[in-house]
Amino acid sequence: MAGTPKRSSKAAEVIKQDVATYVAAGADESVQRVITNVHGLARRLNHWYDRQLADLDVSTGEWAVLSKLARDGGDRGLSPSVLADAANVAPSSMTHRLDRMAERGLVSRSTDPDNRVRVLVALTEEGWRLFRDAIRESDMVESDVLGPLSRAERAQLADLLDVVIESLDTLDA
């Protein structure tokens, strides 16, 4: 085991060292290897998205709104509070963010006819177009990133993550 490491990439070295720090502070290794990798990957991906979104003149926070609406907006849209929660932001911040996005024509705001306290935010045509453009671009990178994994390995990876997420949600409830 002691000898020339075959071809330990720089990233792998860094992560290994990070895990060691956490273990030294009293954590479990098999746990930290997974957790550190999840965060590391998410962080790198986000970094990539940021650059890409900047090209489209969309901030990370605005993207959170766009993608949430695209995923769960349905026909009617979503309320500002739901969006604020999805974007991890205070409701008051969402008010301003929506102001900007509406002014730019990405979303529309309307009061819920069934309950006039509620406001419904929905994607405009322009918003949808932007969403699709961004998705297609990012999928290209993501496909490249997952290139080294076979289809079976991808499924396996997704399955394992499914289990963890499910576990976390159970714990959280």
Partner DNA sequence: ATCGCAGAGTTCGAAATCGAATTATGTGAT
Partner DNA sequence: ATCACATAATTCGATTTCGAACTCTGCGAT
Contact residues for its own copies, defined by CB under 8 A: 9-12, 15, 17-18, 21-22, 25-28, 30-35, 37-45, 47-48, 70-72, 88, 131-132, 135-136, 138-139, 141-149, 151, 153-158, 160-172
Handedness of CA 72, 73, 78, 84 (dihedral sign): positive
Minimum CB separation from DNA for residue 84, in Å? 7
Q: Is 135 helix (H, G, I), strand (E, B) or coil?
A: helix
For DNA, the closer CB: 34 or 45: 45
Asked if 119 touches DNA (CB under 7 A), the answer is yes
Asked if 132 touches DNA (CB under 7 A), the answer is no
Task: For residues 151 and 52, give the distance between their C-alpha atoms in angstroms, rounded to a whole number.
Answer: 26
Give which of its own copies, DNA, none residue 51 binds (C-beta under 5 to 8 Å, depending on kind): none
CA distances from 10 to 7, 14, 23, 71, 88 (A): 9, 6, 20, 36, 32
| Contact status, residue 143 vs residue 135, Cβ threshold 8 Å | no
Minimum CB separation from its own copies for residue 87, in Å? 11
Print the binding letters for residues 8-47 with DNA: x by CB under 7 A, - otherwise.
----------------------------------------
For its own copies, the closer CB: 112 or 168: 168
Q: Is 167 helix (H, G, I), strand (E, B) or coil?
A: helix
Asked if 79 touches DNA (CB under 7 A), the answer is yes
How big is the chain by its Cα radius of gyration, in Å?
A: 20
Contacts of 127 (CB under 8 A, 6+ apart): 66, 69, 101, 105, 106, 107
Minimum CB separation from its own copies for residue 169, in Å? 5
Q: Where does this chain bind DNA (CB under 7 A)?
A: 59, 61, 79-82, 88-98, 100, 109, 115-119
